[in-house]
Amino acid sequence: MEKQNIFDLSKEELSEVIKPSFRAKQIYQWLYQKYVTSFDEMKNLPKDLKEQLNATYYLDPLRIVKVEESRDGSKKYLFALKDGSTVESVLLPMKQEQTDEDGKLVHHTRYTICISSQVGCKIGCAFCLTGKSGFKRNLTVGEITSQILMIKRDNAIAENRRVNIVYMGMGEPLDNLTNVSKAVRIFNDLDGLSISPRRQTISTSGLSSQIEKLGKMDLGVLLAISLHAVDDELRQTLMPINKAYNIESIINAVKAFPIDARKRVMFEYLVMKGVNDDQKSAKKLVKLLHGIKSKVNLIYFNPHPGSDFGRPLEKDMVAFQQYLVDHGVLCTIRQSKGLDISAACGQLKDKEEKHDNA
């Protein structure tokens, strides 16, 4: 019998096959809180149950192929899956550990982890390296959740240290909605990593019908829209998906999406030199977001080999931001991390594959 990835199972599903059912809670705590790498490490389980687990499940859906670490502390991971495919994840330190004048800890380092949801991507955005390699398959639930586990384990991030999760890596999360939504619930399990949905952000290229489905699930997650253009003509050039889901349909879906009163919908706007960095675009964006409780995140485009687009000038980014702020739109400029490593999404995977084929 072929073994199953145990991380594909929710605690409830595990309790249906493991008896007595309280053992499922114990197993979950070993997996998600103690980061064990074998069933034999689960000391409070009887020998026959360990044997059953070893015969039925495996614990290593991912293998670290390569890690690149930036001077700013960010790390990009390339993971190999069981079928030989590879995906990327990124660890981003957002706030460093701080101590007071007496050396007492004020707060721990705060991390955001960016994870992938697919091998490749169907969307085919003109600026994205991931899409150039095509689409292979959806990641399973366990392949999604294991990215967080392995990065926490590799960096000795304690179980009770919460991280923020962004589904902004390789792939379109809403094209794998069933598995992504299950991963959200598993992350939130109190016997697991206990990561609140409010700490989980799902980013989408704008699949309007899937945004509506996600909203009806009412998971409590945050929503981010990869907008990148303010009119359909340009957006369709940059993102062919706009033919099926135009800007109007996205805005309508966002307006119906349930958002915590303290939160906002994030609109990600990848700024490319001479393409979408002008004041005319900023003016259109203000008009487009009118009436939406939103936040705009301006992102410097990170050029990669073969890219047709360039990094915008700092003065143009600042001017764009200032126009939005002056007209009542909350706007930040994302501080680029990992510029001294393979920063662009899919770049480490692409570089490693070219090296292997050389």
Cα separation, 87 vs 74, whole angstroms: 17
Catalytic residue among 12, 51, 88, 128: 88
Which tokens sit at 213? 């489905």
Q: Any residues with CB less than 8 A from the CB of 79 and at least 6 apart, and which?
A: 62, 63, 64, 65, 86, 87, 88, 89, 147, 150
- Cα angle 182, 188, 192 (rounded to 5 degrees) comes to 100
- Cα angle 23, 24, 25 (rounded to 5 degrees) comes to 90
Encode 272-302 in three state secondary structure.
CCCCCCCHHHHHHHHHHCCCCCEEEEEEECC
* Residue labelled with tokens 């007209």: 327
Q: Any residues with CB less than 8 A from the CB of 84 and at least 6 apart, and which?
A: none
Length of the chain: 358
- Cα angle 139, 295, 106 (rounded to 5 degrees) comes to 80
Which tokens sit at 75? 């790390």
Cα separation, 39 vs 343, whole angstroms: 36
CB atoms closer than 10 angstroms to residue 269: 24
Catalytic residue among 121, 125, 128, 345: 345
Catalytic (active site) residue 345: yes
Residue 243 is which amino acid?
A: K
Q: Exposure string (b/e) for 16-25, b if CB count within 10 Å is 16 or more?
A: eebeeeebbb
Phi, psi of 183 (to 5 degrees): -60, -40
Catalytic (active site) residue 13: no
Phi, psi of 300 (to 5 degrees): -65, 130
Q: Any residues with CB less than 8 A from the CB of 197 and at least 6 apart, and which?
A: 184, 188, 219, 220, 221, 222
Q: Write out the catalytic residue numbers.
A: 88, 345
